[in-house]
Amino acid sequence: DSGVTQTPKHLITATGQRVTLRCSPRSGDLSVYWYQQSLDQGLQFLIHYYNGEERAKGNILERFSAQQFPDLHSELNLSSLELGDSALYFCASSVGGIRTDTQYFGPGTRLTVL
Amino acid sequence: KNEVEQSPQNLTAQEGEFITINCSYSVGISALHWLQQHPGGGIVSLFMLSSGKKKHGRLIATINIQEKHSSLHITASHPRDSAVYICAGVGGGADGLTFGKGTHLIIQP
């Protein structure tokens, strides 16, 4: 158990819908990263928050947004869903950044868009 | 653009064999993470290194900065080591990790 929790574990929805994925980092970790893992693209970095502030964006679509709240949990919002958004979504937390600190991954949320 | 390439893509070995997985990376990447993804999908961070060598139990990771190459070794491999091993680079403009495609390892009893 990494100490990082993600909810829900599974999510099935239809095209055009909007969903919210939630991540609670390990106690004391200030950084939260979101990643997408799909069959064709593999793992990709989406976005990084540190202590409530957005620090970097990767391959995140404009239909996707995220935020980190004062209690440090984070939410990833996916809207106007398409079939291609079906993937595993992981969050990971660390004390600081990835240049110096180990990342701890959550169990992931499996999103299926029908 | 940061790039990370792994080899081999698939590896099947017998229990007890010494395993090596290789990772090459592009200029601009300053550190590497080695990750293990279990069949159930969970990801565990094994090592993070920017120079030299690290060891944890039967796992050893090395990195050669000049050659831009890293290796993950597993000694006395066991069926429970069967998983996908992923190297991921740190550096360049992106703040997140740049992932390799992974090596699917199967250790047969």
> B8 CA to chain A: closest CA distance, Å?
16
Sequence-ordered strand ranges (E) for B1-109: 4-7, 10-14, 19-25, 29-37, 43-49, 52-56, 59-64, 69-74, 83-91, 98-99, 103-108
Would you place residue A112 in the very low, low, confident or very high pLDDT band (cuts 50, 70, 90)? very high
Mean pLDDT of A28-33: 94
Interface of B with A (CB under 8 A): 30-31, 33, 35, 41-45, 48, 86, 88, 90-91, 94-99, 101-102
Provide the b/e sequence for B66-99 (b: ≥16 CB within 10 Å).
eebebbbbbeebeeebbbbbbbbbbbeebbbbbb
Q: Examine the pLDDT at A113 and tell me if it is beyond 70.
A: yes
For B13, residues 6+ apart whose C-beta sits below 8 A from its C-beta are B19, B77, B105, B106, B107, B108
pLDDT digits (tens, 9 = 90+) for A43-93: 999 999 999 999 988 889 999 999 999 999 999 999 999 999 999 999 999
